[in-house]
Amino acid sequence: MAPGALDYESLNENVKKVQYAVRGELYLRASELQKEGKKIIFTNVGNPHALGQKPLTFPRQVVALCQAPFLLDDPNVGLLFPADAIAKAKHYLALTAGGLGAYSDSRGMPGVRKEVADFIERRDGYPSDPELIFLTDGASKGVMQILNTIIRGESDGVLVPVPQYPLYSAAISLFGGSLVPYYLEETENWGLDVNNLRQSVEQARYKGITVKAMVIINPGNPTGQCLSESNLREILRFCYQENLALLGDEVYQQNIYQDERPFISARKVMMGMGPPISKEVQLVSFHSVSKGYWGECGQRGGYFEMTNIPPKTVDEIYKVASISLSPNVPAQIFMGVMLHPPQPGDISYDKFVRESKGVLESLRRRARMMTDGFNSCKNVICNFTEGAMYSFPQIRLPPKAIEAAKQAAKVPDVFYCLKLLEATGISTVPGSGFGQREGVFHLRTTILPAEEEMPEIMDSFKKFNNEFMEQYDDRSGYSRIKLYSLFLAGCLTVPIIILLVELVLDPKHSMGFPKKPPVVDGGLDLDGSKRWVIAGIPLRAPLKPISTNPVKKEINDGDGDDDEDEDEQNNCATTSTTPTSEEARIPSILVCPPAPRKRKATFKCNYSGGVREFFTPPDLETLFVQRAN
C-alpha cells in the first residue's frame, strides 16, 4: 500500500527540517521526569507566570470586565473594581464589533491600532500610521508572517544573529529559505561587528544566495545584550548600502537591567538619521505583551509596525492575514492597556507602578545573582545580562566530557544539559539550539525563577557543575575569577624576568613597554601589528567606553620615584575616553576598581609628565597590559 498523505515519508520536507530547541529533547525529557514525580524547574523558556511571577492587577481587572460585561450592570461593581478599570473596560468594549466573542478586523481593532501608533509616537518622537500596524497572536506570528512574505525559495537568505532565538531558524526552514548567520562577539559582550555582516553577505552571494533581510534582536535573546545608538546607526547604514529589509525584534524593550545602555528603537534611530535612510530603509518592528513586567505569554498578544513598505506589499500582507480572519481579541485589549496604563492621578496608578516596578527591580537583582553564580563556577564564564530574560554562560567542557558525549551520540552541550537536568531538575536549553561557534559550548537559562529560590538554584547548579568537571577532568578548571588569579600569579614570575632582561637590552623602554604605543583616533589599529591584549583578551576598535569611579591606585612605572607617583595619583580624574592621545602611555601595572561587568571601562590620568589612558576588562582589579605582535 502506498504511503498515506500524512505518513512521515510523505510529509513536506521543510516541516522535517524545522528544529526548535526551546521545546526540544531537553524539554521532553524534563516533562517525562516531572510525570515520574521529580521536581522540575523549567528555565528553558521565558514564561514568567509559570515560574511564579504574579499578573499585574489593573489589566486583569479590565479584561475580566470585558469578558463578563454583565458585571458592569451590577450596582455593586464599584465595590469590586476601581473606577478607572471600569471606565477602561467600557472604552474597549465600545471599540469591539460585538464584544470579545466577535471577530475584529484582520489587522486588529482600529481603535487599538491607533493606541499602538500613539505609543510609538510618544516613545520615538515621530508619528506612526495605524494603517501600517497589524495586531497579531504574539510577536512570533507576526515574525512568521513577514518572513513568509519575504522568502520565495532557498535562494533567498535572511541575516540572523548567532546565537539566535530559534524562531528564526525554524521559520526560515519552514518557508524554504536560507539562514545566513552573522556571529556576535562573546568577548565583546556579544557585540556586533559590521565587518562580520559584510563577510556573511559576501559568503552567501558566493553560494548563490540573495540576502533580502536582516534580523536584530534588541535586547538580545539568548545573549541579553542591548544595542547602542551607534550600533543601530551602523546597522541601518549597512541595510541601506546592501538594500536589506530590517526586522527589529524588540519584545524585551521593557527588560533593561542597567542604566548605561537604555533601550532605543531602530525606528527612532532611523528617523533621526534623515533621508535617504529614513525614507528608503524598509523596517518592520515587533512587540509583545509576553515579556517586560507583564509576562502575559499565554494571552498571545503582539503587533508589528511597517515603515517604508510599499502599499501593494501592505495589501498582500493584509490579504494573508485575512485567511485567519482575526487576531485574538482579548489579547488586543491587553496590548492596548499595556501601551496606555494608568496615569498619575488615576485610582489604580500607585498600585500599578508599585507592582510593575517591583517586578523589574527583582529581575535586575536576579540577573546579577545568576551572572555572579555562573562566574563562580569551575569552567564557566558568563557575560552580564544587560536586558531580556536570559543568561547564556559558556561552559568549557573537558575533552573527556566531549568524548563521552560522542560515545552517547549526543552534542556535547546537550549531553551536559541532560546530566544537569537529571541531577538537579533544572531544565535549560543547550547553546547548540541557538547556534554558536565551532568547539564552543553554552546553555541558556531564564532569570525568571523566584528571587528567594535563586540562591538554592545556583548552589545546586554549582554543586553539579563542579562534580561534572571533576568526573571528566582531573585537572583544575577555571572560573573567570580563577582565570584572572592565575593570570596575575603568572605575571609575578616568568614575565618579571623577561621584563628585566628587556630593560637591560633596551634602556629606552620603561618596564618593557614603549612610552608611546601606536594609537589612532577612533580606537586601536587592528592591522595585525598594533593590537593590544589585556589579561589575555584581545581588544577590538572602536572601544565602547564608560566611566568608572576612581579609587586610590598604586601606580608603578618602574622609576622608583614614589613622590611623583603620588602626584600622578592625585591628578587622576574620571572621564569617558578612548585611547586616542599621541601622549598616551600604558602602565606596567595598575591597581584599579572593578569595572562594571557590562563592558570594558576606560579612564584617564593627567599628570605633570603628560597623559595616561587606561582601559580594563570587567571584574579585573589588577590590570596588566601586554603588547601583542
Integer distance in angstroms from the first to the last C-alpha of the chain?
Answer: 69
Average pLDDT of the residues of the chain: 81
Tens digit of pLDDT for each residue in 605-614?
443 444 444 4
Residue 192's pLDDT is what? 86
Rounded CA separation 333/116 (Å): 11
pLDDT band at 273 (very low <50, low <70, confident <90, very high): very high
Tens digit of pLDDT for each residue in 224-249?
899 999 999 999 999 999 999 999 99
Domain boundaries, the chain: 11-40+356-473, 110-339
Mean pLDDT confidence for 412-430: 93
Rounded CA separation 385/601 (Å): 17
Helix residue ranges, H only, 297-398: 311-322, 329-339, 349-375
Handedness of CA 450, 453, 459, 464 (dihedral sign): negative
Mean pLDDT confidence for 334-358: 96
Instruction: Please state whether beta strands 555-556 and 589-591 pair in parallel, antiparallel, or not at all (unpaired).
Output: antiparallel
Rounded CA separation 282/445 (Å): 33
Mean pLDDT confidence for 598-622: 41
Rounded CA separation 412/348 (Å): 51
Class of domain 110-339: alpha beta
Q: Which amino acid is at 185?
A: E
- Selection from 451, 296, 438, 308 nearest residue 370 by Cα: 451
Task: Tell me phi and psi for residue 211, to 5 degrees.
Answer: -80, 120
Mean pLDDT confidence for 188-203: 90
- CA angle at residue 504 from 500 to 506, to 5 degrees? 110
Q: In this structure, what DSSP letter does residue 75 have?
A: T
Residue 3's pLDDT is what? 86
Higher pLDDT, 171 or 437: 171
Instruction: Lowest mean pLDDT of 94-103, 284-293, 377-386, 431-440, name the range.
Output: 431-440
Residue 603's pLDDT is what? 45
Task: Tell me phi and psi for residue 96, to 5 degrees.
Answer: -85, 170
Q: State which CATH number among 1.10.3720.10, 3.90.1150.10, 1.20.1250.20, 3.20.20.80 fits the domain covering 11-40+356-473.
A: 3.90.1150.10
- CA angle at residue 262 from 292 to 201, to 5 degrees? 95
Tens digit of pLDDT for each residue in 558-584?
444 444 444 444 444 333 333 433 333
Mean pLDDT confidence for 342-349: 96
Non-local (6+) Cβ contacts of 368 within 8 A are 257, 384
Tens digit of pLDDT for each residue in 1-46?
888 899 888 898 999 888 876 777 888 899 999 999 999 998 888 8
Rounded CA separation 443/392 (Å): 6
Non-local (6+) Cβ contacts of 15 within 8 A are 174
Residue 50's pLDDT is what? 87
Contact 589, 556 (CB under 8 A): yes
Contact 158, 213 (CB under 8 A): yes
Rounded CA separation 441/431 (Å): 6
Task: Tell me phi and psi for residue 158, to 5 degrees.
Answer: -130, 125
Residue 610's pLDDT is what? 43
pLDDT band at 433 (very low <50, low <70, confident <90, very high): confident
Rounded CA separation 223/488 (Å): 29
Q: Looking up cell 549597512, which residue turns up?
A: 238
Tens digit of pLDDT for each residue in 243-264?
999 999 999 999 999 988 899 9
Rounded CA separation 182/160 (Å): 6
> Structure pTM?
0.74
Tens digit of pLDDT for each residue in 460-506?
999 999 999 999 985 654 555 555 555 555 555 555 555 555 544 55
Radius of gyration of the chain (CA): 27
Mean pLDDT confidence for 424-435: 90
Residue 152's pLDDT is what? 96
Residue 474's pLDDT is what? 58
Contact 617, 595 (CB under 8 A): yes
Rounded CA separation 570/584 (Å): 18
Residue 20's pLDDT is what? 78
Residue 512's pLDDT is what? 37
Q: In this structure, what DSSP letter does residue 100 have?
A: T
pLDDT surpassing 90 at residue 141: yes
Mean pLDDT confidence for 345-358: 96
What share of the chain in percent tops pLDDT 90?
63
Instruction: Lowest mean pLDDT of 117-126, 318-327, 406-415, 481-490, name the range.
Output: 481-490
Residue 557's pLDDT is what? 42
- The residue count for the chain: 629
Rounded CA separation 26/39 (Å): 15
